Amino acid sequence: MARDPEIEGIFTIADDAMQGLWALHMYLKASTEIADGQNIVPHLPENVFQMTHHWQRFYDRNELVEAIRDSSIELLLGRASLISLVAISEAAMSGIRDRP
């Protein structure tokens, strides 16, 4: 039986997205392991960052760096990756379900 090119395309897109997510996860994990927190601070916005056009979040960039370094970066990255994997899977399944 021949492969359905539309379904194959949906799986290819999902696979590419998952591979890219894995690569980003590993890159960020490695980067945080070798980075010195004090070298990161000057590259963060001062005092406030824009969440949306109308929503600003006030914070202390030194506290942010310390909080992330004190927590398990693997847990934070894993949580973000899991949410992204769910979105990728949901999009793929919706594409398969909705195809003609």
Cβ distance 77 to 28 under 8 Å?
Answer: yes
Range of the domain at 90: 5-98
- pLDDT, greater one: 69 or 44: 44
Q: What's the domain count of the chain? A: 1
The percent of residues above 90 in pLDDT, for the chain, comes to 52
Torsion of CA 26, 31, 32, 37, to 10 degrees: -170
Picking from 59, 63, 29, the residue whose alpha carbon sits closest to that of residue 45 is 59
Taking the C-alpha atoms of residue 39 and residue 75, their distance in angstroms, rounded to an integer, is 23
pTM of the model: 0.73
Taking the C-alpha atoms of residue 11 and residue 69, their distance in angstroms, rounded to an integer, is 36
Cβ distance 82 to 90 under 8 Å?
Answer: no
